[in-house]
Amino acid sequence: INLMCDLSSILFRLLRYCKHRLLAYNSKGEGIHSPYLFYLVRMVTCDENAYYVWHDIERRRALLLQDETHIHVKDFGTGNARPADRSVHEIASGSLERAEIAQLFFRWIVFISRNAERPMEIVELGTSLGITTAYLATANTANRVTTFEGCPAIGKIAEGTWQALDLHHIQLVKGNIDDTLSEHLPKQLDFAFVDANHTQEATLRYVEMLLTHIHEKTIIFIDDIHYSKEMEQAWEILKCYPQVTTTMDFFHAGALFFDPHYLKKHYCLHIPTKHTSHFAR
């Protein structure tokens, strides 16, 4: 039964990916009306330059992917039955964000930070082993990064990742996100990445909590929007929220924008991968 479910899930995502590739006609900014969003896609998203700090982060990813150490995993519910003891290699293989998505965050935050009048407040729900957090943090060390992780053992490995990368401006909040999120959210949120409980109910709940702290220039990314029918439903619901104006679907993740000056538009894009070739997984 589990094998059939896995094959069904793989087939579902494969079909969705093929559909996405056919629909991703805005990938160089074509048809994007806002000059700011056009620049964000054409000049920032499509930037093929690699930053020197990426090498160290991807080297750390490679070490995690080879680590056979077993840890006790406390799972707060992703809809998947997983053993309590798992290897770091297994966790890294299944839960680390893809390099091209993490590097997209990096480039966007570098660009936004240059025009910001104050340090950005960045929040990540679902730290995992700390690789994506490292990308969020190295984009501009003046920014403040708060990341939430339910499993203490996984959080400890993430802290080792940041120590190895000499990153000291990250606040890790351990414990069930349902219990910790409201207490530790910044008053004004600039950028958020939701990569925690991959269910519709939890995703919508987290976003609704984040919405109480946004301003019109906030960007919220949702991970794995085509991971399952349930996550696709969550994405479609979020696109219809009255606060949401523009959305961008990068297949592996989707971005929500809230600026009332933007048209209510939904763009389908893919990320150029040439710039990630030096850091292949």
Q: What pLDDT does residue 280 have?
A: 40
**What share of the chain has pLDDT > 90, as a percent?**
74
Picking from 188, 258, 250, 184, the residue whose alpha carbon sits closest to that of residue 220 is 258
Per-residue model confidence as pLDDT tens digits over 127-147: 999 999 999 999 999 999 999
What whole-number distance in Å separates Cα of residue 34 and Cα of residue 263?
8
Instruction: Give the span between the Cα atoms of 251 and 141, in whole angstroms.
Output: 29
| Average pLDDT score over residue span 17-35 | 85
> Which residues does 140 contact at the CB level (< 8 Å), separation at least 6?
109, 110, 113, 119, 120
pLDDT digits (tens, 9 = 90+) for 193-238: 999 989 999 999 999 999 999 999 999 999 999 999 999 999 999 9
Exposure string over 231-251, b if 16+ CB within 10 A, otherwise e: bbebbeebbeeebbbbbbbbb
Quick check: 175 pLDDT over 70? Answer: yes
pTM (predicted TM-score): 0.91
